[in-house]
Structure 1
Amino acid sequence: MKILFGISDTQECYNAIKFAIKLAHSLKEVRFTLLHVSMEVFIYSESGMMDYGQTEALEEEKAKALLKQFEEAFKKENIECESVLKSGDLIDVVLDMAKDYDLLLIGASESNLLYRLFISHQNSLVEQSSIPVVIAK
């Protein structure tokens, strides 16, 4: 089974690792792809003196460190995985990649009910995905 695990730097996503590991141990053959989608960096500065390239590089470093952290958790449990870092619209990128997988795993939305109802990407992924979606708490 090929599982696409959309990761972010949220507590809910860290909690979802536990579920992913249990799931992996319950399946005979499983391969995870850890996907982090960085939003494109837009800088609005009053002084106009910010270095776009430096800001983008810093965001990329953070994203790579996050992927490495998740990857190490899987490797510690002898679970095969690969990491993918993409940038762009989260929904578009995830749905495009999901076409090649059997299951999409995401962490539960991190905020209050109002946020989950009106802003969360989670709802869009569930509604638009062509494959089953598991939302781990």
Structure 2
Amino acid sequence: MADETQKSAIKILFGVSDTDECRKAIPTIIKLFAKRNETELTLLHVKAETIVLAESGIVDYTSLEHIQEMESNEILQEFTEVFSKEGLICKKILKNGNPIDVVLEIANQYDLLVIGASESSMLRRIFNSHQNSFINSSPIPVLVAK
């Protein structure tokens, strides 16, 4: 029989992108979770769906999607390597679609959502940000790291 005092792993979902805001969240995650054996960190990168208008001419959709897929995998690999050096083993998920919709679709499978803090420029404040959408709509707690 398993020891009842044993803690279950905290499951963290970290939405990653090729932004400074996301990279600035790395030290916070390491500081809070790297020394804990019961942490399961999942890196999620959502790539936008490829939309090409008919007026744009002849386009090789396969090549365009292949390039996006390679870039997305490079982003996931970059974050994985940084966390691995600190002893955090990561699962990686790559999905297509709207980042807010995709994150919220799978958030219930996790205990905590971590996102990088959005820049506080005036335009972002006026037009809202992904950050506010995640915070307002998330079914789980959200850690905004900066």
**Shared fold, TM over 0.5:** yes
Post-superposition offset of 1:44: 3.4
| 1:1-137 alignment runs, 5 A limit | 1-25=10-34, 27-44=36-53, 46-110=55-119, 112-137=121-146
Question: Could you tell me the percent identity over the aligned residues?
Answer: 50
Letter in 1 for 2:51: F
Aligned residues: 137
Q: CA RMSD in A?
A: 1.6
- How far does the alpha carbon of each residue in 1:25-47 deviate from its partner, in whole angstroms, 9 at most, with x for none? 35452110000001101123745
Return the alpha-carbon distance in structure 2 between the equivalents of residues 55 and 119 of structure 1: 30
Q: CA deviation at 1:53?
A: 1.2
- AA matched with 1:25: A
Summarize deviations over 1:58-98 as a string: whole Å, max 9, x none.
00100000000100111111112111000112111101111
Q: Is the 8 A contact 1:39 1:87 kept in 2?
A: yes
Is the Cα contact below 8 Å between 2:12 and 2:39 reproduced in 1? yes
Structure 2 gap segments, 5+ residues each: 1-9
Q: Give ranges in structure 1 of 5+ residues lacking alignment.
A: none
Larger radius of gyration: 2
Contact 1:11 1:110 (C-alpha < 8 Å) held by counterparts: no
Structure-1-length-normalised TM-score = 0.92
What TM-score comes out, normalization by structure 2 length? 0.87
How much does 1:55 deviate?
Answer: 0.6
